[in-house]
Amino acid sequence: MNNENRAWQWASHLILIVISLSCIIPFALLFMSSISEETSITKYGYQLFPKAYSFDAYSYLWKNASSILHAYGITIMITVIGTAVGLAMTAMLAYPASRKDYPFYKGLAFFVFFTLLFNGGLVPTYLIYTQYLDMKDTIWALIIPNLLMNGFNVLLMRTFFMTTIPAPVIESANMDGAGEVRTFTSIVLPLSMPILATVGLMQAIMYWNDWFNGMVYITEPQYFSLQNVLNQILSNINFLSTTNMSAATNVTMNLPGATVRMAIAAIGVIPMLLAYPFFQKYFIKGITIGAVKG
């Protein structure tokens, strides 16, 4: 029996190792491709162990270091502000929608769910934010449209409140004289750290990876986020690589194409990879409990 248990233990470890490698290898391939020579990728393709190494892609990006660093600052700012404000708004909307003793709590939940099925479309949304709210070429255009409030996150947090926060705890707080604001801030939120971390991480990832708002609402380079700057650099390389002007031939021959794409992806993904381990415990617990039907 012990031998069977040990065999199952080794088998489970082997399976987990294979799954872990399947997650790690793509990122390793991404980084190794970014430090490969352009000719090596053209001839042999993407390899974990390139035939020739080169840092030309990062040298090219270093020439745009000032704009990249400025974009990093913009992205960090909108990620922090958007995540904090969005998380607060999500929690304040999900809490009354989870209280069965509140009038119209089901109607509120249905209204949130309805926004997941239908929206006004790109053109009306663009007109509202640019002509009526005057957000074009402002930092708010990177924070509010499409990202600040997400119906899925609201329903996820609502389910967590309904299935995890005991109703007698809230009732006892009310009997002791605590108002709704005090109950929400002193009892509900401290007990909801897993779902807060889960929703916060998902919102942070959306803000960090967002390029659509910058493409639609931003034309001033001073407001470009990291994704927009990197996309602009990549577009410039593609343009120079495909141009037919003979004067640019010597320049385009030395431009990194495939390698700079990998370097751009590495620069964009590394911060999120470093942040995820700090939220992993809460993320797994929150997404599991919050997904249970209430």
SS3 assignment for 54-108: CCHHHHHHHCCHHHHHHHHHHHHHHHHHHHHHHHHHHHHHHHHHHCCCCCCHHHH
Interhelix angle 65-98/226-242, rounded to 10 degrees, is 130
Residue 158 CB neighbours (<10 A): 27
Going by C-alpha positions, the residue among 272, 262, 141 that lies closest to residue 212 is 141
Contact between residue 89 and residue 153 where contact means Cβ atoms under 8 Å apart: no
Average pLDDT along the chain, 294 residues, taken 10 residues at a time: 74 88 85 83 80 82 84 91 93 89 82 84 88 91 90 89 84 81 87 86 89 90 87 76 54 63 81 72 55 44
Q: SS3 for 49?
A: coil
Domain 56-290 has CATH 3.30.530.20: no
* CA 250/CA 255 separation, integer angstroms: 9
The percent of the chain in helix, strand and coil, each rounded to the nearest 5, is 80, 0, 20
Distance from C-alpha of 250 to C-alpha of 215, rounded to nearest angstrom: 31
**Annotated domain spans of the chain:** 56-290
Q: How many helices (H) and strands (E) does the chain have?
A: 14, 0
* Radius of gyration, CA atoms only, the chain: 24
Q: Which pLDDT belongs to residue 290? A: 45
pLDDT at 207: 92
Best CA proximity match to 258, nearest among 44, 23, 99, 42: 42
Residues paired with 36 in a beta bridge: 53
Please, what is the average pLDDT of the chain?
A: 82
The pLDDT tens digits for 262-274 are: 888 888 887 777 7
User: For the chain, what is the largest distance between any 2 Cα atoms, rounded to a whole number of angstroms?
Assistant: 82
Q: Supply the pLDDT for residue 279.
A: 66
The secondary structure element, H or E, covering residue 213 is helix 212-217
Q: pLDDT at position 138, please?
A: 92
Do 258 and 195 contact (CB within 8 A), yes or no? no
Question: pLDDT value at position 141?
Answer: 93
pLDDT of amino acid 66: 86
**What's the pLDDT score for residue 2?**
66
Question: Are the beta carbons of 116 and 149 closer than 8 angstroms?
Answer: no
